[in-house]
Structure 1
């Protein structure tokens, strides 16, 4: 199971969305760290979201990997628009070992807000993705 977490780390650091998608279960979901209410589900919607998100960050580096069961915690540092950001990502693994649920927690407020500003226009080009995520 830890191989998928290592692949996830490598893929996100390289912003390699194709490799990232292979780590996700078909029914994977991500809860928005910006709204806490939007839930993005499935490969099609997650590909759009993750392309926009990881394409907005620079110098992403995972610094810690905590846990060895079906729930893992990754800690990271990145920059966006010259501001330093930290992330805690809780991953829940499915029975097949792929990632079933992603719960990112980002701080501080200013870089998180900048990320939201960058993601907004990219996601609004796909109104169906936003509608589906808003269903929670």
Structure 2
């Protein structure tokens, strides 16, 4: 099995179960949102993939670099009305399965929107319904700040022709 090809096809077809087949049993996924936690093992990563692929639309992988034990993938998609771009650093084990995934997301408003969409469902699945109600409030403040910066502040400091 070509785990990277399976991973790509599964992401584009929103098939979390298929994506899990490309993972080693001890896979680690490093969150793009915070350094405070990682997802460990197929079950935790599979849960994240189910939640994420339900929210992210139109994943289209555009580039791939590397073909050995380290591969970088890049995709474009949408989350709601926002465009989202993600880079994925994949480390493969000796059997060719994905053993580590590090995610990088831009722009910042898309990342904060992603946090708001995924956070409540992940909290519910972790048995924390109270936290599921708090995440959108805290995340909403971060998203409003990021969105305001993206639309109103940063265009003012962009290079002038």
In the superposition, relative to structure 1, how do residues 90 and 128 fare at CA in structure 2: closer, same or farther (>3 Å)?
farther
1:23 matched residue in structure 2: 22
2:145 matched residue in structure 1: none
Structure 1: 5+ residue stretches without partners: 130-136
- How far residue 123 of structure 1 moved from its aligned partner, in angstroms, is 0.5
CA RMSD of aligned residues (A): 1.5
- How far residue 37 of structure 1 moved from its aligned partner, in angstroms, is 2.4
1:132 matched residue in structure 2: none
Whose RCO is larger (CA < 8 A, sep 6+)?
1
- How far residue 110 of structure 1 moved from its aligned partner, in angstroms, is 0.6
Q: Give the Cα separation in 2 of the matches to 1:42 and 1:57.
A: 22
Q: Give the Cα separation in 2 of the matches to 1:36 and 1:61.
A: 26
2:78 matched residue in structure 1: 79
Q: Which has the larger share of helix?
A: 2
Give the alignment's TM-score, normalised by structure 2.
0.76
- How far residue 128 of structure 1 moved from its aligned partner, in angstroms, is 6.7
The structure number with the bigger radius of gyration is 2
Q: Which has the larger share of strand?
A: 1
For these two proteins, the number of residue pairs brought into alignment is 128
Structure 2: 5+ residue stretches without partners: 129-161
Equivalent positions of 1:80-119 (< 5 A) are 80-119=79-118
Q: Give the Cα separation in 2 of the matches to 1:23 and 1:42.
A: 12
2:59 matched residue in structure 1: 60
Q: Does 1:69 align with 2:68?
A: yes
